[in-house]
Each structure stands twice: as C-alpha cells, then as structure tokens.
C-alpha cells in the first residue's frame, strides 16, 4: 500500500483486514483518484490452493473531511459505510461517502 500512496499520506491498519489511508491536503475528487491509483496498484496474490474457495477483492470507501464531518469517529463511520456500498455494488471498487 505504501508504494501506491504519497509520502504525505498516512497508512495504518484499523483492524482485521481493514486499513485506513489519510490523504492529506486534497478534496474528495482528488482522494477518489488517489484511491483508484491505490486500488489498481495493490496486487492481491492468492495461493493456488485457495483460488477455488476464496475470491480476494479490494473495496475502498472514501470520505472528504470538512465541516460536514465533525469528528474522527464520524469520519470512520462514513468511510466504513462507503466501503460497504462498494462491496454491495460488486466488490473490488472505490466509493465516495455521501454527506
């Protein structure tokens, strides 16, 4: 993930198989572009013995932080909701959180 983010971005594990990337100093559309670059750059390799029973995918939720997102917990909640929209719309995609 680090290879597909900017030096100013913060990459950290949230828990389990969930990660957070904080794109500093950009608007929602720029964050979407950066998330799509990350999405296309992450190579998920599945061992051959698991390919028949496990379909790995990368679903990304993006939220623009501003006046409409007053706290870190609200930011994570909105991002998580956007990620679930990405999962429900076929997985393996990037989704911008609605305000």
Strand runs labelled E in the chain: 10-15, 18-22, 60-62, 94-96
Domain count, the chain: 1
Give tens-digit pLDDT for 35-79: 888 888 876 777 888 878 877 778 888 888 776 666 888 888 888
How much is the pTM?
0.75
Q: What is the pLDDT of residue 99?
A: 63
Domain with 40 in it: 2-96
**Distance, CA of 54 to CA of 62 (rounded, Å):** 25
We report the CATH number of the domain holding residue 72 as 3.30.70.270
Under 8 Å between Cβ of 69 and 53: no
- Could you tell me what percent of the chain has a pLDDT over 90? 1
Tokens representing residue 50 in the block: 């698991």
């Amino acid at each position: 993930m680090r290879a597909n983010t900017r030096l100013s971005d913060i990459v950290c594990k949230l828990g389990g198989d969930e990660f957070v990337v904080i794109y500093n100093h950009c608007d929602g559309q720029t964050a979407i572009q950066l998330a799509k670059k990350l999405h296309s750059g992450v190579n998920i390799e599945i061992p051959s013995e698991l390919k028949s029973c496990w379909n790995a995918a990368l679903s990304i939720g993006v939220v623009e932080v501003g006046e409409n997102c007053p706290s870190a917990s609200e930011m994570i909640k909105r991002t998580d909701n956007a990620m679930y929209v990405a999962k429900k719309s076929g997985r393996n995609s990037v989704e911008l959180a609605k305000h």
